[in-house]
Amino acid sequence: MTDSIYKIIQITQDKEVMAEESNKNNMTAHLNKINTYKNNLIISNNSINNNNSINNNNDIIDNDHVTNDKISNHNSLNEDQLIQQTLSLTKKTNKSKLTDSKQFKQNDQYNNKHNCHMYQFDKEDMSNDNIEIITDKIRDKWNKKMDFLLSIIGFAVDLANVWRFPYLCYKNGGGAFLIPYGLMLIFGGIPLFYMELALGQFIRKGAITSWGRVCPLLKGVGYSVVLVAFYTDWFYNMIIAWSLYYFGASFTFNLPWMSCNNAWNTENCIDFHLTKNDSVFQWKNFSLRNNSSIMGNITFPVEEFFSNQVLGRTKDTNVENPGKIQWQILLCFVAVMVICYFSLWKGIHTSGKVVWFTALFPYVVLIIFLFRGITLPGSTNGIYHYIWPNIAKLKSAEPWVDAATQVFFSLGPGFGVLMAYASYNEFHNNVYRDALVVASINSLTSLLSGFVVFTLLGYMAYRRNVLVLDVIKDDPVLVFSVYPEALSTLPGSTFLSICFFLMLLTLGLDSSFGGSEAVITALSDEYPLLANHRELFVLGLFTFYIGIGALESTQGGIYWFHLFERTCVEYPILLAVLCETVCIAWIYGKMKYKLLYRKYKINFYLFIIGVDRFRQNIKQMLGFQPGIFWKICWKFIAPLFILFNITYGLSNYQPLQLGDYTYPLWANILGGIFSGSAILTIPIVAIIQILRTEGTFSERIKKLIKPDECMEPNEYLIEDKPIINRKMPISLSDTFDSTKSSSYLKKVQSTNSIPNCYKVVRNV
């Protein structure tokens, strides 16, 4: 078998092109069925295998007895002639026949979702026993490029852009805060954002499978980020449910949070009225004027609506005594899950349509509110507090930590969402441009939201005759208390409230889509059984979320919400992304990279490792290599950026507390279990991988830090520019000596260089 070769024929076909070719050659009617099969045809330049197993709907064309001598001078033929000659031979073959293929169960639905790959191991052996036919599921792709961009923008731009960034800007020196924010964005946030998008697009799999291929030892990183996304959905969807409830409550002439004449209001509730010269609080039948002792006890109707009507909080409810379920909130939560289900159950083709509204509508509302806000009294004072720089604030560490935290959690690396969404891109999509565009839009949206927020805060401070400091708050209560009050005092308050809470609803849904899709894609890619039953899998996932939502819909649900928010995400995601950057920058395995071959015909090899290998992967996709700036960021700055967040967070750790309520010890331990479960998956999976691998300990480690062979770039595409938008089938196969392992076949990629692994089960 020393003279034998491996000959790889991958069958792909473009419907329109092959239809035109068949008409030119007057193909027989039964061959016209081939036009419906959507794979590429790769014909060997050295010999054409006439055992063409062409899978067409439920059929395979069998040409076992066509010999090689019927084809002459094929090496000198161009691609078009090769295709015509091959199809002509198929037509002339007397023994061409259509047979059912029970082996591959290739029905119409199967053919529409799979590629067929033929492997011939022995050049001289034309029997079917020497042929391997392997099917590989075709991965879904975005219908339009904008579907992907809007999905990523919708995920990155969320509720935190509306309420947290403006607060941090005000807290940390106004316009001066943009200095640490910009530096953290450029040197930390964007490089991590770009890294995950590029990795997801290159491997075209979810987080678990991707990290298992990059570094099998760190496959647990994939499980960790999936758990983080899973936990995030536990509390994030509740914010969307609150938004939906407010949205429904806005369809009334008199908004329910405008007065104290409701069943849920207390004796401390006041209606606020403002005259031109003074502020007067109408509290029952008393008129109170600048009485600080009483001011400390009063509440406003908008605050009581959120606390008493929406949350249903009482003095006795807490994490230990959750109380009764607020059924109106639970129903809203179920409605949110129904929206998410029907947006995701069919994959990106359904969610890609929904985001055209959910991602764009918030900008319409923000622009309307900005122009309306700047006309309000007190708005300029609010804007002044927002942008006036206080450089002295930058001397402390807090602004830098807040900037790093905001950048990191706003762009969202480490949730698995970026990898999941990018995995559905075209292989040669310019992900570099996408990363810069989305990161820029995200930051500009935060700035725009700040102007909108502080025009309203300045207006509220003017109405209450207090400082801006007295009306701004650093939590979601700002969204559900201050904004509704401001809007309720304006003409057309009902319409403005409907628009505002619909904006919050769409902002939340986009991010929820991303988190859920990260979980679904990662598990479906790793466990094909789930992919084959996606609708049921998604249904089960959202049914579980409803169970968690029922707990958070109780009168003490806000305490569980705060527990999940504080403990489930922050440290696990930081540690997971730290492992990602260290892996890509320092561990990502050795690659033999051929240089100077095309131009000088010299086989010169360079062995590269880590971030340099990753840069070559990006070059394979984009045709150009990321510069030294990205190398330095990925290798040094990004890990330090994350360590900075982790160190400062641990040094300032405080036990859980919400308002005046201090959580019991068991609640802190439970939060630690949630956080630890996402962190410990990394070492646990690493130990399992080591135990499953053969050899000594050092040999096992060497094997497990080596990337999967499907990560090897296609040398044809490294040596020359990548093949982009090729519609005609091309002759791009190669021959390999039989002395090489059959696993070497994995290195041969399809014409669009998608690095899928095709397992060959027979060795020579």
pLDDT surpasses 70 at 347:
yes
> Of 18 and 570, which is predicted with more confidence?
570
- Average of pLDDT values for 472-499? 82
Phi/psi at 325 (nearest 5 deg)?
A: -80, 135
Residue 536 in contact with residue 180, Cβ under 8 Å? no
DSSP 422-464: HTTS-TT--HHHHHHHHHHHHHHHHHHHHHHHHHHHHHHHHHH
Helix or strand holding residue 160 (H, E): helix 159-171
Q: Determine the Cα–Cα distance for residues 6 and 47; give it in Å rounded to an integer.
A: 11
Q: How far is CA 238 from the centre of its chain?
A: 20
How high is the pLDDT of residue 733?
33
pLDDT tens string 169-217:
988 988 999 999 999 999 999 999 999 999 999 999 999 999 999 999 9
pLDDT surpasses 50 at 301:
yes
pLDDT tens string 711-754:
765 433 333 333 333 222 222 233 333 333 333 333 333 333 33
Inter-axis angle of helices 534-552 and 557-567, nearest 10? 120
DSSP 710-760: GGSPPHHHHHSPPP-S--S------EEETTS-GGGGGGPPPTT--------
Split at pLDDT 50, 70, 90, the class of 37 is very low
Annotated binding-site residue? 760: no
- Average pLDDT score over the chain: 76
pLDDT surpasses 70 at 15:
no
Annotated binding-site residue? 25: no
**Tokens 């309203």 -> residue:** 456
- Cβ neighbours of residue 48 closer than 8 Å, sequence gap 6 or more: 68, 71, 74, 82, 86
Annotated binding-site residue? 156: yes
pLDDT surpasses 50 at 391:
yes
pLDDT tens string 631-671:
999 999 999 999 988 998 888 888 999 888 999 999 999 99
Q: Determine the Cα–Cα distance for residues 582 and 63; give it in Å rounded to an integer.
A: 52
What residues does 40 pair with on adjacent strands?
12
Residue 485 in contact with residue 257, Cβ under 8 Å? yes
How high is the pLDDT of residue 126?
54
- Average of pLDDT values for 344-355? 92
Question: Can you give the residue ranges of every domain in the chain?
Answer: 5-137, 145-577
How many helices, marked H, and strands, marked E, lie in the chain?
32, 14
pLDDT tens string 229-268:
999 999 999 999 999 999 999 999 889 998 888 889 888 8
Split at pLDDT 50, 70, 90, the class of 469 is confident
Please report, in angstroms and rounded to a whole number, the separation of the first and last CA atoms in the chain. 8
Least confident of 162-171, 363-372, 503-512: 162-171
Inter-axis angle of helices 493-526 and 348-358, nearest 10? 160
Q: Which amino acid, one-letter code, is at 440?
A: S
Share of the chain above pLDDT 90, in %: 52
pLDDT surpasses 50 at 687:
yes
Nearest to 522 by CA among 236, 156, 212, 155: 212
> Of 422 and 60, which is predicted with more confidence?
422
How high is the pLDDT of residue 221?
97
pLDDT tens string 62-103:
333 333 343 334 444 444 554 455 445 444 443 333 333 333
How high is the pLDDT of residue 464?
80
pLDDT tens string 501-532:
999 999 999 999 999 999 999 999 999 999 98
How high is the pLDDT of residue 230?
97
Identify each DSSP E strand in 2-130 by its residue range: 5-11, 54-56, 59-62, 97-100, 114-120
Highest mean pLDDT among 138-142, 473-477, 732-736: 138-142
Annotated binding-site residue? 510: yes
Q: Determine the Cα–Cα distance for residues 39 and 134; give it in Å rounded to an integer.
A: 13
Residue 583 CB neighbour total at 10 angstroms: 19
Residue 547 in contact with residue 237, Cβ under 8 Å? no
Residue 9 in contact with residue 758, Cβ under 8 Å? no
Annotated binding-site residue? 680: no
Highest mean pLDDT among 71-75, 145-149, 345-349: 145-149
Nearest to 239 by CA among 317, 177, 133, 163: 163
Q: Determine the Cα–Cα distance for residues 175 and 168; give it in Å rounded to an integer.
A: 11
Nearest 10 degrees: CA dihedral of 256, 257, 260, 264?
70
Q: How far is CA 320 from the centre of its chain?
A: 35
pLDDT surpasses 90 at 289:
no
Split at pLDDT 50, 70, 90, the class of 762 is very low
Identify each DSSP E strand in 231-312 by its residue range: 271-274, 279-283, 286-288
Q: Determine the Cα–Cα distance for residues 695 and 715; give it in Å rounded to an integer.
A: 31
Split at pLDDT 50, 70, 90, the class of 136 is low
How high is the pLDDT of residue 591?
64
- Average of pLDDT values for 294-305? 76
Highest mean pLDDT among 332-336, 400-404, 471-475: 332-336
How high is the pLDDT of residue 159?
86
- Cβ neighbours of residue 615 closer than 8 Å, sequence gap 6 or more: 625, 626, 630, 631
Token digits for 148? 């992907």
Q: Determine the Cα–Cα distance for residues 557 and 564; give it in Å rounded to an integer.
A: 11
**Does residue 505 sit in helix, strand or coil?**
helix
Residue 464 in contact with residue 485, Cβ under 8 Å? no
